[in-house]
């Protein structure tokens, strides 16, 4: 669990002390500069995610942010109330990557705007004339100053001006000592955990469609389909890894089933595959690869089959380029995403 972030710049040490609630969500961080407490931020959660954030400076609470979210926990708006500063309701606008790109008021005017470097989350341009503190920016992650941090207590993601840190383990302290304007710190790749699952019985399109629709579709629908197929097996995947996989699987892309081209996410593609070819056993797994440019990727693969194979047998058939016909493999595909561990000194 990350409990402390330390920034050293120009001989001044800034420390962010972080604590978590019983569900491993950040519920407080305290910023101290030169050993003196400057700010205290507290986070309150409701049934669908973040509900309220408060900030105190010099022991006096001077900022309250109340949030509204959709059933999936996606932030819709915030009521921003700052003593001596801006007050009003602001609505979030996200790009296709989940980044906050604008905050608009009730008249639709842009009050805050961001432009990101999508490779590392650095804000390359910001419009913020009122100096509004928006805690949720790149990828919708919780931002601590120029650090974006999400954690479930074991797995963590940090995105800052110099790159991404994603990993898992028992790191309690991360020291960030990269002065602004200097070269980015190098990153070490963290291999994705390799796993492979296969269902114990065939599943029909109707079963998966019901689970997908009941959850409301989209990302939560993809999660519901995975849980129906594999149940407790998913517990062997680190939470941050599973969340990353589900995020990728929720993105829409073009695909062909039965000679017809459609657009949809992974769950919709799987449902269409089963609808076209009948009930199937379903298989998923991951492995790591290095591309021709030396970049490391995690690959998520899936397949559907009328015949029960081991996941390794399915993967061998996929790797050989065999699909359809007497093999019984009715559909398969790959999704890729990047993973990093931590800064190297």
User: For 303-338, how does the pLDDT look when each residue is reduced to its tens digit (9 = 90+)?
Assistant: 898 889 888 888 777 766 544 545 557 677 777 655
- Residue ranges covered by each domain of the chain: 4-181, 195-343
Q: Which residue has the tokens 């995947």?
A: 237
Cα separation, 215 vs 225, in Å, equals 9
Tokens of 146: 């120029």
pTM: 0.46
Q: 17 pLDDT exceeds 90? A: no
Query: CA angle, 258 as apex, 257 and 264 as ends, to 5°?
Result: 20
Q: Give CA torsion, residues 116, 248, 98, 77, to 10 deg.
A: -160
Nearest by Cα to 251 from 219, 229, 280: 219
Instruction: For 126-166, write each residue's pLDDT tens digit.
Output: 788 898 888 776 455 555 544 444 444 433 444 443 333 33
Instruction: For 205-224, write each residue's pLDDT tens digit.
Output: 999 999 999 999 999 999 99
- CB neighbour list of residue 210: distance below 8 Å, 6 or more residues apart: none
Instruction: For 249-296, write each residue's pLDDT tens digit.
Output: 898 888 877 778 889 999 999 999 999 889 999 999 887 766 565 555
In SS3 terms, 193-249 reads as CCEEEECCCCECHHHHHHHHHHHCCHHHHHHHHHHHHHHHHHHHCCHHHHHHHHHHH
Tell me the pLDDT of the chain averaged across its residues.
Answer: 74
Pair 271, 205: CB distance under 8 Å = yes
Cα separation, 135 vs 261, in Å, equals 40
Pair 5, 15: CB distance under 8 Å = yes
Q: Which residue has the tokens 């002390």?
A: 17
- For 315, the enclosing helix (H) or strand (E) is helix 311-319
- CB neighbour list of residue 273: distance below 8 Å, 6 or more residues apart: 257, 280, 304, 330, 331
Mean pLDDT computed over 98-124:
75
Query: CA angle, 175 as apex, 169 and 176 as ends, to 5°?
Result: 120
- For 277, the enclosing helix (H) or strand (E) is helix 266-277
**Confidence bin at 178 (pLDDT 50/70/90):** very low
Cα separation, 158 vs 310, in Å, equals 37
List, as one string, the DSSP characters of 120-153.
T--EEEEE-TT----SB-GGG-EEETTEEEEESS
For the chain, the 3-state helix, strand and coil shares in percent, each to the nearest 5, are 20, 45, 35
Cα separation, 44 vs 54, in Å, equals 9
**Confidence bin at 93 (pLDDT 50/70/90):** confident
With H, G, I as helix, E, B as strand and everything else as coil, classify residue 55. Answer: strand
- CB neighbour list of residue 225: distance below 8 Å, 6 or more residues apart: 208, 211, 212, 267, 270, 271
Q: 49 pLDDT exceeds 70? A: yes
Cα separation, 286 vs 199, in Å, equals 16
Give the DSSP letter of residue 145: T
**Confidence bin at 8 (pLDDT 50/70/90):** low
């Amino acid at each position: 669990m990350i409990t402390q972030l330390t920034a050293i710049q120009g001989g001044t040490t800034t420390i962010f002390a972080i604590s978590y609630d019983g569900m491993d969500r950040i519920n407080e961080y305290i910023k101290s500069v030169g050993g003196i407490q400057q700010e205290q931020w507290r986070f309150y959660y409701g049934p669908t995610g973040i509900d309220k954030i408060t900030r105190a400076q010099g022991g006096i609470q001077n900022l309250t942010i109340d949030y509204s979210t959709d059933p999936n926990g996606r932030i819709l708006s915030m009521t921003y109330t700052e003593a001596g500063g801006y007050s009003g309701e602001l609505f979030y606008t996200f790009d296709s990557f989940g980044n906050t790109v604008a905050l608009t008021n009730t008249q639709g005017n842009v009050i805050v705007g961001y432009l990101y470097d999508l490779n590392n989350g650095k804000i390359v341009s910001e419009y913020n004339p009122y100096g509004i503190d928006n805690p949720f920016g790149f990828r919708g992650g919780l931002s601590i100053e120029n650090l974006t941090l999400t954690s479930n207590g074991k797995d963590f993601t940090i995105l800052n001006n110099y790159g991404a840190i994603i990993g898992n383990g028992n790191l309690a302290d991360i020291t960030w000592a990269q002065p602004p304007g200097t070269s980015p710190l190098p990153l070490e790749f963290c291999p994705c955990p390799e796993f492979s699952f296969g269902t114990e019985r065939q599943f029909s399109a109707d079963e998966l469609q019901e689970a997908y629709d009941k959850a409301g579709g989209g990302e939560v629908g993809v999660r519901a389909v995975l849980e129906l197929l594999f149940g407790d097996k998913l517990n062997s995947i680190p939470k941050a890894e599973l969340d990353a996989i589900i995020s990728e699987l929720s993105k829409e892309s073009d695909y062909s089933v039965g000679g017809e081209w459609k657009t949809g996410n992974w769950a919709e593609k799987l449902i269409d595959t089963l609808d076209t070819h009948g009930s199937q056993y379903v298989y998923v797994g991951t492995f790591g690869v290095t591309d021709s440019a030396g970049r490391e990727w995690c690959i998520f693969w899936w397949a559907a089959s009328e015949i029960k194979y081991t996941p390794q047998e399915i993967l061998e058939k996929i790797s050989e380029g065999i699909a359809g016909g007497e093999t019984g493999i009715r559909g398969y595909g790959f999704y890729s995403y990047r993973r990093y561990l931590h800064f190297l000194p």
